[in-house]
Amino acid sequence: MKKSVKIISASVIIIAVLIFLLPYLINANPKDIDLTIHLRGVYKSKINVIPLMGDKNPIAVINELKENNKATISISSMHLPGEFLLHLEYYETESSSRALSAEAMIILYKQDVEMWIHPLHINNLDSTYFHKKEKENTEFISFMKKNNKNNEMLDLLQNFLFSYDDKDSDFYQSAVKELNKRRTEHNQWIDEKIEKNKGLFASSLFSLYYVPEITWTGSQTELKQSYINNYFSHIDFNDTLLLKSSSFKPWMDNYVNLHVELVKNPETTDSLFTMAGFNAIEKAKHGHPLVYGWVVDYFFNGYESLNIQKGIAMLAPYIADPNCMTQKRQEIERRLKGITTLVPGVPAPNFDFEQDGNKFNFREFKTNAPYKLVLFWSAGCPHCVEMAKRVHKWYQQNNNQNKLEIFAISLDEDDVDISEWKKLKSNMQGWHHILAEGGVNSPQANSYFILSTPTLFIVETKNNTITALPNNIREIEEAIK
């Protein structure tokens, strides 16, 4: 069998290098900064500085800082700007036998930061505070204080309007007017804060707290839809600092979750989530290529985890767009190829496997069952384990064992997961259990274009052709009728 060789053009290499370097080049801090911490109120403490984005390992550590002393540590520019967790392991008194924990979030960017920490009151601004000339954290704390106060009334009015039953009354209309006035004032205040604090990382975070407009006419569904339609009205997709924020993904999660409220039956879920992704990406593609690419990657991850093939297929034109600086281009292209290649009616990819010391071939495997089920799963994936257990329980019922021969291919690679897989498979008798060497990069996974689990294929035994790609028991039953 000939080994295929791919010729990679210079332009592809350049794009790959740019994707790797741009997060460090755009809005990167030109220098390292110093973080100085004064300890108050306890005998001593160890302090870890942990980034909230990316690798969650400490980037700096103060091994021991005693009361009324200070320590200065250098924060590398490669980690800036960013939000960080200060994790303290402190001893309240000299005679304390065990350490207690306290945590606080801080923002670091261009300015050296000096702060005083009292672990017993770490979130009390009278006990834990910053130098009077510090800007990032001072502005963010001040912003959040007023933002939370504004939202108390905005949420109260909004919840009232959603639940009020007489939308034609003067009372309802006056409440709408009051909400719109307060929402406009709130958003204008955010505009002013962003303008005033240009140059601060915090100003990019402010934009995630705009309140979208709602058109207060129509049904509950129409009200929610108008909120969704205006969700991106105030966001600047050209701002790459959003990608450094730990709040950006939860903000996008909230947008997706709003669509969950619109789901009327399971059959509409895939279409709604696909439309959610399409609308978000259409907005993002007019922004910075890195932000555009991040949004595409975000929805690909979601579609892949839920096996929403319609959504993955929707991503095809964006992957072909050179302005889309996705970090998952190869994964998405591979998945798209799988969607178009492995469809009902085509031959199922072949593979060899070993069982009880004997070697077998999938296509040539002798069975009286009219169908074969290929299940890719992982013991390290709770959703996969749940699916495998449900399928096995169903398999033992009625006459199902005579209808299907099941090949359960594990993509586990970690020693802990493999050990768990061995325990689980012992409770799933009657199946052909296969541990694919190489996991998601194994020959079996590659031939079936697997990037995530669980994934299932129904194969007709007689011709070894794929007949269905079920997502649940009901679809398995439909495929083998």
Residues 6+ apart with CB under 8 A from 38: 68, 69, 70, 114, 115, 116, 117
In a domain, 398, yes or no: yes
Boundaries of domain holding 85: 33-133
Residue from 326, 323, 301 nearest 312 by CA: 301
Q: Is residue 78 part of a domain?
A: yes
Q: What is the pLDDT of residue 137?
A: 97
Q: What is the DSSP string of 329-373?
A: HHHHHHHHHHHHHS-TTSBPPP-EEEETTEEEETTT---SSSEEE
Q: What is the pLDDT of residue 29?
A: 61
User: In the listed set 275, 306, 341, which residue is the last one of a domain according to the structure?
Assistant: 341
Q: What is the spatial distance between Cα 409 and Cα 421, in angstroms, rounded to a whole number? A: 11
As a whole number, mean pLDDT of residues 52-61 equals 91
* Same domain? 312 vs 356: no
| Among 341, 368, 400, residue at a domain's last position | 341
- This prediction has a pTM of 0.80
- Regarding whether 358 and 296 lie in a shared domain, the answer is no
Q: What percent of the chain has pLDDT over 90?
A: 77
**Is residue 55 very low, low, confident or very high in pLDDT (cuts 50, 70, 90)?**
confident
* CB of 78 closer than 8 Å to CB of 244: no
Q: Measured between alpha carbons, how far is residue 429 from residues 92, 391, 409, 447, 476 in Å?
A: 55, 12, 14, 26, 19
123 has a pLDDT exceeding 90 = no
What is the percent of the chain with per-residue pLDDT over 70, rounded to a whole number?
94
Q: Which is more confidently placed, 471 or 68?
A: 68
How sure is the predictor about 28, in pLDDT bands with cuts at 50, 70 and 90?
A: low
**CATH number of domain containing 88:** 2.60.40.2890
In degrees and rounded to multiples of 5, residue 474 shows phi and psi of -60, -40
- Residue 150 tokens read as 């504004």
Q: Tell me whether residue 145 is in a domain.
A: yes
295 DSSP 8-state letter: H
Residues 114 and 150 in one domain: no
d(CA 361, CA 1): 17
Contact 244, 82 (CB under 8 A): yes
**What is the pLDDT averaged over residues 192-202?**
96
Q: What is the pLDDT of residue 15?
A: 47
Whether residue 408 lies inside any domain: the answer is: yes
Q: What is the mean pLDDT of residues 380-388?
A: 90
Reply yes or no on whether the pLDDT at 25 is more than 70: no
Q: In the predicted model, is pLDDT for residue 302 greater than 70? A: yes
| Model confidence pLDDT, tens digit, residues 137-191 | 999 999 999 999 999 999 999 999 999 989 899 999 999 999 999 999 999 999 9
Q: What mean pLDDT do residues 187-211 have?
A: 96
Last residue of a domain, one of 101, 133, 165: 133
Residue 225 lies in a domain: no
229 in a structural domain = no
Q: Number of structural domains, the chain?
A: 4
Task: Say how far apart CA 32 and CA 108 lie, in whole Å.
Answer: 10
- Residue 111's identity, in one-letter code, is Q
Angle of helix 170-196 relative to helix 136-163, nearest 10 degrees?
170
| CATH number, domain with residue 449 | 3.40.30.10
Same domain, 421 and 317: no
Please check whether residues 113 and 129 belong to one and the same domain.
yes
Could you tell me if 359 and 466 lie in one domain? yes
* pLDDT, tens digit (0-9, with 9 covering 90-100), for 334-373: 889 888 888 899 999 999 998 888 889 999 998 999 999 9
Domain assignment present for residue 347? The answer is no
Co-location of 315 and 356 in the same domain: no
